[in-house]
Amino acid sequence: MGTEIKIQYEEAEAALSKLRQSVDSWDTSFPKEIGGENNLEVINKLNELNAQCQKMLETYQELLLDNQQTSKQSVEDMEETDQTLHSMISMGR
């Protein structure tokens, strides 16, 4: 088995950090009430759709942040494993 996995740790961590910053800076707010006292069906439906879109974006943002954190942890774990294996191999020589 001569397969080697090469991870550019600094690049991976920089990309994950950039993702985190981008997601954190999102503005997921939608107008809550359009039309004020207007009771037109279209306005009511638009307000309902805006609320659904905001909820969807907030959920997507949470999923991206969870994914970013899991990926970051995976990179850190892989780096730690890589260092441990390197130490074990070096001691065996």
Q: What is the pLDDT of residues 5-32, one digit of tens each?
A: 788 889 999 999 999 999 888 887 877 7
State how many domains the chain has: 1
24 inside domain: yes
Exposure class string for 31-46: b at 16+ Cβ within 10 A, else e: eeeeeeeeeeeeeeeb
Tokens of 32: 């809550």
34 inside domain: yes
CB atoms within 10 A of CB 89: 9
13 inside domain: yes
47 inside domain: yes
Range of the domain at 30: 9-92
pLDDT of residue 93: 66
The arithmetic mean of pLDDT across residues 88-92, rounded, is 84
Confidence of residue 67 (pLDDT cuts 50, 70, 90): very high
46 inside domain: yes
pLDDT of residue 30: 72
> Is 82 in contact with 5 (CB distance < 8 Å)?
no
pLDDT of residue 2: 66
Amino acid at 42: V
48 inside domain: yes
User: CA-to-CA distance for 56 and 51, rounded, in angstroms?
Assistant: 9
Q: Tell me the pLDDT tens digit for each residue of 27-63.
A: 878 777 777 776 788 888 888 998 999 999 999 999 9
80 inside domain: yes
2 inside domain: no
More confident residue, 3 or 72: 72
CB atoms within 10 A of CB 66: 10
